[in-house]
Amino acid sequence: MTLAPVPVGGPVRFAEARPLALALAHELAAVGVNVLAVRDVQGRFTLIIDDRTHQLPPALENLEEDYGPRAARDLGAYAADRPLMRASGLFSASALFASERSVTDPEYPTGRVRVLDNTVVGEDWAHVSVPSAEADGTRTHRTALYGFKGGVGRSTATAVLARHLADQGHIVLVVDLDLESPGVGPIVAAGAELPPHGIVDQLVESAVGNDKGLEHVARSSYAPRSARGELWFAPARGQGTPGIPYAYVDKLNRVYADVPGAGFSDRLEQAVRVCEDAVARNGDSGRRPDVVLLDSRAGIHDIAAVTISRLCDLALLFGTDNAQTWQGYGDLFAAWHSSGQAPAIREKLRMVASMVPDSPHGSYLRSFREHAWECFSLLYDDDVPAPGTNELDPDLFSPSLEDEAAPHYPISILFEPGLVGLDAATVPGWQDRAFVQAAYQDFLPTATLLITADPQSSKGTR
């Protein structure tokens, strides 16, 4: 699909600038040059034409004169001071074209057009990776539990899943990354004392190289049914040191700062890793966790960006069937699509339909599934015939609406009135109550299978 210029009937707005800039980049690339579209932190574009190794085609001999004024006119306020430049005239051209942060424009399949987006926050949404193995080859499976909106039962589901996995003999670590609204730590603790420090302390202290000796992991008082199972937690907020104010808000105000050599995303990844190391040091078996559950902050936020795009193997996306859910996930999926990350990120995702009401003939879940499929279709491949045949290309990822293994197909958690107001942090044996078991009867086995069946998980390599 070729991007078309947006009709101009007034000022060019932010959302119109990208398709306009890329339309011009496609036109230049069609002549036979590579183009890097660079967007600065204010959203302004510069198109850099790569003329370092080959002379420009005759049609572009007067590049600046022919295309510069047009770029400035088309992009309006979102044209950089020099919206068209030659790579040969830039000191940093090699670094720009080789940047790991640049991505191929998914609308230009030849690869001649790349986009380098510079942002103040949220950059990690556009850069997807899979956690690496440890030096001994083992892998801890990390699952993120995320909801675009809060109040969907994500933290309670995290605690239920953690106990279920520990009961099956897994070593489980729950990390509370919802720093602005911490809560899962006390639920998982089951009455155990919080450690002196929390994730917020790791993020603050590591920024100044002062994180040695922090204690931010504790063992839950919950006794797993399997003798091999262990349940650990790393709260967002520790209990602090007696007599010294904890100053949680003051710490929180500083955790997102990027400092030289210690960017936020690197510090967040380090925080999770040092928690895993602490379990290995203090646990019965001396092993790292089999499974880490990352209770992520809701919304389009840097913590969620790093957690989903970089830290996890699997992301369970919580939602209810309403316009807010689908608009929010639609915006997020559009960002992954435009950054060229759709093939990488869709392998990590699975929808969770939370708080599912009783409805005639399963109409609610059917509606949820249809809306999820419409939303996910942006991340799926278009159905096209394989080259030289009339049959669909078997390598395309384009699951059907009814494909139960597809990312859009929802795992359900039923709405149970008994869960409303349940203080899971203080009620012993709450997970065994009939209404809790009924609510999670689909979620627990399905989520467990997704986690433990992953061929990269450490549980599968032993």
User: What is the predicted pLDDT for the residue at 83?
Assistant: 92
Nearest partner of 168 among 235, 218, 231, judged by Cα:
231
How far apart CA 328 and CA 289 sit, in angstroms, is: 33
User: What is the predicted pLDDT for the residue at 137?
Assistant: 60
Q: How large is the average pLDDT for residues 234-260?
A: 89
**101 near 117, Cβ under 8 Å?**
yes
pLDDT-derived band at 459, boundaries 50, 70, 90: very low
**Does the residue 128 lie in any domain?**
no
User: What is the predicted pLDDT for the residue at 458?
Assistant: 40
Total domains in the fold of the chain? 2
Question: Of how many residues is the chain composed?
Answer: 462
**314 near 161, Cβ under 8 Å?**
no
Q: What pLDDT digit, counting tens, does each position of 203-216 carry?
A: 999 998 999 999 99
Given a cut of 90, is residue 97 above it in pLDDT? Answer: no
Nearest partner of 34 among 86, 70, 82, judged by Cα:
86
- CA 121 to chain CA mean position, Å: 14
CATH assignment at residue 275: 3.40.50.300
Higher pLDDT: 362 or 131? It is 362
Q: Of 53-67, 112-126, 283-297, where does mean pLDDT reach its minimum?
A: 112-126
User: What is the predicted pLDDT for the residue at 61?
Assistant: 81
pLDDT-derived band at 145, boundaries 50, 70, 90: very high
Q: Which residues contact 141 (CB under 8 A, 6 or more apart)?
A: 290, 291, 292, 313, 314, 451, 452, 454, 456, 457, 458, 459
Same domain flag for 111 and 200: no
User: What is the predicted pLDDT for the residue at 216?
Assistant: 94
Same domain flag for 378 and 238: yes
pLDDT-derived band at 457, boundaries 50, 70, 90: very low
Instruction: Please give the mean pLDDT across all residues of the chain.
Output: 87
Q: What pTM value is reported for the model?
A: 0.79
Same domain flag for 296 and 246: yes
Same domain flag for 190 and 104: no
Same domain flag for 197 and 300: yes
User: What is the predicted pLDDT for the residue at 357?
Assistant: 93
User: What is the predicted pLDDT for the residue at 456?
Assistant: 45
| Amino acid identity for residue 333 in this structure | F
Same domain flag for 105 and 163: no
320 lies in which domain range?
Answer: 141-461
Given a cut of 90, is residue 411 above it in pLDDT? Answer: yes
- CA 302 to chain CA mean position, Å: 9
